[in-house]
Amino acid sequence: MVKNKTILICDDDEGILDMLEIVLEGSGYDTIPIKNSLSLYEAIEREHPDLLLLDLWMPVLTGDQVLKTLRKNLETKELPVIVISASRDGEQIAMNAGANDFMAKPFDLDLLLKKVQQYIIN
């Protein structure tokens, strides 16, 4: 049996984590929800995800800070990251920090699934 692709979801809102788990698992992905961005690096090292869905506004360590660190690290430099955020200027912040793509909250599911698939295959 082929192992499912793994998607790490990092968001401080449990509703979003819940919803994305339901949606992505419904489409055949394994998901690992991370509520506290501080534990994200450890989770990446442990799980070797195929994709990261990353929120921006999080307490202590923000999404763009996380992303900048990931891009400096050899092992995570190439990890596909889609930033999901409800901030109006989120797209600019995300792309500047090195995101592969950006989706404004609330997003369309089909569009999200399309993008997820696109980055995982590549």
Binding site for another protein (CB under 8 A): 13, 15-16, 18-20, 22-23, 26, 57, 84, 86-89, 92, 105-110
3-state DSSP assignment of residue 30: strand
Cβ proximity to another protein, 16 vs 44, nearer residue: 16
Cβ proximity to another protein, 26 vs 77, nearer residue: 26
Residues whose CB is less than 8 angstroms from the CB of residue 9 and which lie 6 or more positions away in sequence, other chains included: 16, 17, 20, 21, 24, 31, 32, 33, 34, 52, 53
Rounded least distance, CB 12 to another protein, Å: 9
Rounded least distance, CB 42 to another protein, Å: 25
